[in-house]
Amino acid sequence: MLELNQKNVRKTIYKSLESAVKGKNVFVFGAGGGGDIVGAYYISNKVKKLGGNTLVGSVVWERYSVDPYPGPIPLEMMVNVDPIGFSSALVNSDSYALRYGMEIEPEITKFVKVIGEKAIFLDLTKGTEGLIRALNDVSQNFDIDLVIGVDVGGDILALGCEDNIWSPLADSISLSALYNTNIDSLLTVYGPGGDGELQTDTVLKYISDIAKENGLIEVLGMNIEEAELLDNLVKNINTEASLIPLISFKGEYGNKMIRNNTRNVKLSPVLSTSYVLNVDITYNRSELPKLVKDTGGIGQANQALNDHCIYTELDLENDLMKLRGESSNIPINLIDLRQQGISNLIKRNCKPIKC
C-alpha cells in the first residue's frame, strides 16, 4: 500500500479491496440515485466479508415514474429523518418525501424496510460542495475511514463526448465529490453497461484505459449466495439497472430493452461483474466532474454541463413536466424529446467536449 500526497491531502493507493477495507469503517453509497442503493448494498456485503464495517446510503434522485417533480429530493422535503448535517440524514422505515403536497417513498426508504437497518440520505440539490459536506459529516459522525461510491452501469466513466448519456449530472457530482473530499475514497462500477447508457464494450474499454494507469484495483464476481440476497431486495426496490447484473448471473442472455424502450442492454455474464477503481485516475481522465467542481447547487452544476452541450436528466425532467402541462393526453417520445433538448443547447452556442 503506497501513499500519495495530492492537493495537500493525504491520499492512499490500494492494491486490493481487502487492503482498503479490512478493519475499517466504510461508507458505501449509490452514486447515481434511485436503484443504485441496491448496487451499494451488494458491494457493502463484499466489504463485510473482507473484514470491513459498513454503512450504506445513496444520493436520492428518483425516476420520474416515482417522483414526477424535476430534480433530486432536497433534505428539507424529507419527513421523519434524523439530519446529520447540512445535506445528509439518517433514513428509517417511516421516512418519506413531501413534494409539493405529494407523499413520495424514495427507494432508500424501501431499502431500509427490507434490510432493517438505517441508511444515509445524501442531498444532491446542493451541488458538489453540498455532497462533499455530506460525506464529511457522515465521516465525522460515524468514524468513517473510507468512502466507496457505487455506480450501476458505469456511465460515471463518461468523458462527455458520447451520444447516449442520459444521466450525467448525478454521476458527475458524485465523482467530483469523491475526488475532492479529504476522505480516502474508491469508485466501483457494478454491472458494466447495465443501465443502457454507455454500451458494455465502451465501459470495459474505459476501464481498460484506467487499468493502463494502474487505476484498476480489483475485478469482482457474483456468487449464488449474493444472487439470492439480491433477489429478495430487487423484489421490493423499483430498479431496472440494478436488476440487470442479477438476471445476467442467472443466465439471461441477449438484448433487453429498458427505460420505456429507450435503451438497449446486451445481457451476458459480464454484466454480473464489478470493477473497483482509483478515484483520482478516474476523475482526471474526464472533464465532466471537473465542470461541476465548486458548484453550490444542482442548477449551477446543470448549467456547467449545458454550457458544453450536455443535456442532463434534470433537463429531461424539466422538459417532461412542461410537456405534461401543455398536452397531458399526448404520448411523449423520450428519445425525440432528448434530441430536441440537445438541439436547443447547440442553438445556444454551447461548446461540445471533444474526445
Dump pLDDT digits (tens) for 216-247: 999 999 999 999 989 988 888 877 778 899 99
- Calpha distance 104→245 (Å, rounded): 27
Q: Given a cut of 50, is residue 3 above it in pLDDT?
A: no
What is the pLDDT, as a whole number, of residue 34?
82
Which grid cell sits at 58? 445513496
Dump pLDDT digits (tens) for 255-282: 888 877 777 889 999 999 999 999 999 9
DSSP 72: P
Mean pLDDT for the chain? 92
Q: What are the Cα distances from residue 276, in Å, to 14, 56, 185, 196, 221? A: 10, 17, 11, 20, 11
Dump pLDDT digits (tens) for 31-63: 998 889 999 999 999 999 999 999 999 999 998
Confidence category of residue 86, pLDDT binned at 50, 70, 90: very high
Q: What are the Cα distances from residue 205, in Å, to 61, 192, 195, 208? A: 28, 10, 16, 5
Q: Position 40: which residue type?
A: A
Dihedral angle over CA of 117, 134, 198, 21, nearest 10: -60
- Calpha distance 96→178 (Å, rounded): 26
Full-model pTM = 0.94
Domains and CATH numbers, the chain: 2-296 (3.40.50)
Dump pLDDT digits (tens) for 170-193: 999 999 999 999 999 999 999 999
Q: Which of 32, 245, 272 is nearest to 157 (CA)?
A: 32
What is the pLDDT, as a whole number, of residue 6?
38
Alpha helix positions (H), 197-297: 200-212, 224-234, 244-249, 279-284, 288-291
